[in-house]
Amino acid sequence: MADSAKTVLIVEDDEALLEALDIKFKASGINHVVARNGEEALAYLQKNKPDLILLDLILPGIDGWHVMDEIKKNQNLASIPVIVFSNLGIIQEIEKGKAMGAVDYLIKSNTSINDVLKIVRKHLGEATE
């Protein structure tokens, strides 16, 4: 294992979902930080470089599309893998997310918290077994 724990930035405004992710990530030993909107996410990213970002698209204020655009425009942040985690499930939205650089696109209603954890671990380069 690496010396320092990897950090996941979770950008999500749904409190119930956040609580479920928080419990699951803590139980799995995954270090994570929460931003409840795009402004919080961008403020965090000005000072920190997480190892992965789990990004909702529909957020109050600055939306996830804008956050992803800002990440990909910033040389220091562009290499961070972004997993979109959204209820926007139409093919055009999925294609747009991947075209903008998302490494994965998860639809909330089709993805269990356990599956989210497995996919996050995969993109962090950790074993999923």
pLDDT tens per residue across span 13-66: 999 999 999 999 999 999 999 999 999 999 999 999 999 999 999 999 999 999
Instruction: Say what the pLDDT of residue 70 is.
Output: 97
**pTM score, whole prediction:** 0.94
Q: Look at 2 and 16; give whichever has higher pLDDT.
A: 16
Which domain range does residue 58 map to? 7-113
**pLDDT tens track for 71-128:** 999 999 999 999 999 998 899 999 999 999 999 999 999 999 999 999 999 999 976 5
Q: Are 33 and 44 in contact (CB under 8 A)?
A: yes
Say if 52 falls within a structural domain. Answer: yes
Instruction: Say what the pLDDT of residue 51 is.
Output: 97
6 DSSP assignment:
P
Say if 72 falls within a structural domain. Answer: yes
Say if 37 falls within a structural domain. Answer: yes
Q: pLDDT band at residue 2, thresholds of 50, 70 and 90?
A: very low
Instruction: Say what the pLDDT of residue 106 is.
Output: 97
Residue 129 scores a pLDDT above 60: no
CATH code where residue 37 lies: 3.40.50.2300
Close Cβ partners of 70 (under 8 Å, ≥ 6 residues apart): 42, 45, 77
What is the side-by-side order of every strand in the sheet holding 31-35? 31-35, 7-11, 52-55, 82-86, 104-107
Say if 119 falls within a structural domain. Answer: no
- Looking at the structure of the chain, the number of domains it has is 1
Say if 16 falls within a structural domain. Answer: yes
